[in-house]
Amino acid sequence: MTSRTTPPLPGYPRRHLLGIEGLSAPEITALLDSADAWVEKSRGPDKKHDLLRGRTQINLFFEASTRTQSSFELAGKRLGADVVNMALRSSSISKGETLIDTAMTLNAMRPDILVIRHGAAGAVELLSQKVDCAVINAGDGAHEHPTQALLDALTIRRHKGRIEGLTIAICGDITHSRVARSNLLALTALGARVRLVAPLTLLPPAADRLGVEICTRLEDGLEGADVVMMLRLQQERMDSALVPSAREYFRFFGLDHAKLAFAKPDAIVMHPGPMNRGVEIDSAVADDARSVIREQVEIGVAVRMAVLVALNANMQARP
């Protein structure tokens, strides 16, 4: 044991972060509290720490990503880890055996932390069963994106001082969004009232069984909301005929000032990025004082630092 050894993070004793599902409110809160401190530490001129010195972090991205990958890379580097980025096209790799072979190969390189994004729901968990290191899910298909949910929760908490009791509208392509799934789990676990707002073609069947309120008009969904979280509408939703056109989507489900007026006057506007201006969000709203979209990016790095620190500590505490 070296002097850099830290005790396991009180409140988050797990080996991996595979999803929000199954996490308790105290576990989520422990990560948020830790991340909150990293926000302040990262604002100073001296951003370099050595908690992860000597550790190898591999960012394994089967799906292209700019912001999430660089956020994890920055987080690892600020903590002193050696970070390797590996970009693999999941489309060129057949699933199943080959995926596990990839895991075994990587495992032989003895990384300490694997950050994985994959286009198939459940793929990250499958990989986690085959490796000896800690695994962080950086997004698996339309299933989960837990660090996004944590950074969103922390952004809300820093602005509103709490999460419990808030009315939070998650708006847009719910069916295909891992961000929506992780967020509704995290925010409901923390006591918020969550509404899913979308055209019926972008709501999963039986969405009403998820313990949230369903709205099919944006105006209804925003009524009295404290937080408005917009999701990205991908072009492929129009190609696959779930929405007739971008202009119709913007007219009925795009966030502009007229629709935002239904929310509370002090409501904040969030977006996981990258934004489609003029599709799900009007430029004027994206750049409005109530928009916290750029702050979400900053807090994202702090959240990932907190998660890396927690998993590293838990790993060291294991026999």
Partner 1 sequence: MARNDSGGGRTVFVNARLIDPASGLDAAGSLTVEDGHIASVRPGDKLAAHTDAEIIDCGGHLLCPGLIDAQVFAGEPGFEHRESLGSASRAAAAGGVTTMICRPDTDPVIDEAALVDYFARRARDTAVVHAYPMAALTQGLEGIVMTEIGLLSEAGAIAFTDGITPVANPEVMRQALTYARNFDALVVARPMDRQLAAGGVMNEGEISARLGLPGAAAAAEVIMVERDMRLVELTGARIHVGQISAAASLEVISRTKTAGHDVTCGVSINNLVLNENDIGPYRTFFKLVPPLRAEDERRAMAEGIATGAIDIIVSDHDPQDADTKRRPFIDAAFGAVGLETLLPAALSLHHNEEIGLMPLLAALTINPARIFGLDAGRLSPDAPADLVLIDLNRPWAVEPGTLASKCKNTPFEGRMMQGYALMTMVQGRNVFTRKGW
Q: Which residues bind partner 1 (CB under 8 A)?
A: 199-201, 216, 238, 241-245, 247-248, 251-252
Cα four-point dihedral sign 6, 114, 100, 150? positive
- Rounded CA-CA distance 77/83 in Å is 7
Structure tokens given for 197: 């707002």
DSSP 291: B
Q: Which is nearer to partner 1, 24 or 245 (CB)?
A: 245
CB nearer to partner 1: give 62 or 253: 253
Token reading at 247? 């202009």
CA distances from 120 to 140, 179, 212 (A): 6, 14, 25
Nearer Cβ to partner 1 (114/230): 230
Q: Are 126 and 120 in contact (CB under 8 A)?
A: no
**Is the CB of 140 or the CB of 173 nearer to partner 1?**
173
Closest to partner 1 by CB, 96 or 244: 244
Q: Closest approach of Cβ 240 to partner 1, in Å? A: 8
Q: How far is the CB of 277 from partner 1 (least distance, A)?
A: 20
Which amino acid makes up residue 106? L
CA dihedral of 183, 188, 194, 199, whole degrees rounded to 10: 50
Sheet architecture: strand order including 193-197: 213-215, 193-197, 167-171, 227-230, 268-270
Instruction: Residue 72: name the closest of 232, 307, 293 by CA.
Output: 307
Residue (220 or 223) nearer to partner 1, CB: 220
* Strands lying side by side in the sheet with 134-140: 82-87, 56-61, 113-118, 134-140
Residue nearer to partner 1 on the CB measure, 103 or 207: 207
What is d(CA 160, CA 14) in angstroms, rounded to the nearest whole number?
A: 28
Nearest-approach distance from CB 179 to partner 1, in angstroms: 22
